[in-house]
Amino acid sequence: MGHGHRPHRHAEIRHAGPARLLQRRCALARPLRFPPARHADPVRRAEPNLTSVANGRCRCGAVSFELTAEPHFTSYCHCEDCRRATGAPGVAFVGVHDSEIVWRGEPSGRYGEPPVTRFFCDTCGSPIGYRDARLDGRTYFYTAVLETPDRFAPTVHAFYPERIVWLDLHDDLPRHDRTTIDR
Ligand SMILES: [Zn+2]
Ligand SMILES: [Zn+2]
């Protein structure tokens, strides 16, 4: 959390009262339909969440969150769309249930290719993850936005035939031609 104490626009929200918070939330354009804002609870915001198993953030810190349970899913994706969305030659994900996310700063940037909506920090541009309308109640974060990505190794490859050929990963993980979860 090297940037955790850097002041940014969301720090203002953190120390604001509920009325002010509401005001700011309404002022944010295009709010994402995330579950009710558990992070609005001042006690939860003031104290470290002892049940958290991982933290994640964008590069500027405006977007940050805690996970209160181990991800139920980890994967690589080699599809062209994920590559373009992140600028990376391949992408790793963790999947969590929405109820296991405590947002400290929600991502206000999003890009929709229904049924998939990708979200990102509209301050620094960091890609954060995506949701798929066919997989209700779940959010998929790019593993690289977590503070401890080493702990969440992918267990499967999705869209393996679309990979960039020089991305030569030596593992025995299952390789799927398309998605790894039925939709
Ligand atoms: Zn950011
Ligand atoms: Zn993909």
* Distance from Cα 62 to the centre of ligand 2, integer Å: 25
Tokens of 84: 């373009």
Position 18 scores a pLDDT of 45
The closest ligand to the CA of 125 turns out to be 1
Q: Residues 136-163: what's their mean pLDDT?
A: 97
Enumerate residues with CB within 5 Å of ligand 1 (an ion): 58, 60, 62, 121, 123-124
The closest ligand to the CA of 123 turns out to be 1
Position 90 scores a pLDDT of 96
CB atoms within 10 A of CB 154: 21
Reported for 155-158, long-range contacts at CB under 8 A and 24+ positions apart, including other chains, are 155/73, 155/74, 155/75, 156/74, 156/75, 156/76, 156/180, 157/75, 157/76, 157/77, 157/78, 158/75, 158/76, 158/77, 158/78, 158/79
Position 113 scores a pLDDT of 81
* Distance from Cα 36 to the centre of ligand 2, integer Å: 28
Residue 44 has pLDDT above 80, yes or no: no
For 133-170, list the strands marked E by DSSP. Answer: 138-142, 157-158
Which pLDDT tens digit goes with each residue over 99-127? Answer: 999 999 999 999 988 899 999 999 999 99
Full strand arrangement of the beta sheet holding 127-132: 109-113, 116-120, 127-132, 138-142, 91-97, 73-77, 157-158
Which pLDDT tens digit goes with each residue over 122-146? Answer: 999 999 999 999 999 999 999 999 9
Domain map (residue ranges) of the chain: 9-162
Position 49 scores a pLDDT of 58
CATH of domain 9-162: 2.170.150.70
Position 52 scores a pLDDT of 81
pLDDT > 90: what percent of the chain? 67
Residue 71 has pLDDT above 90, yes or no: yes
* Distance from Cα 63 to the centre of ligand 1, integer Å: 6
Position 29 scores a pLDDT of 45
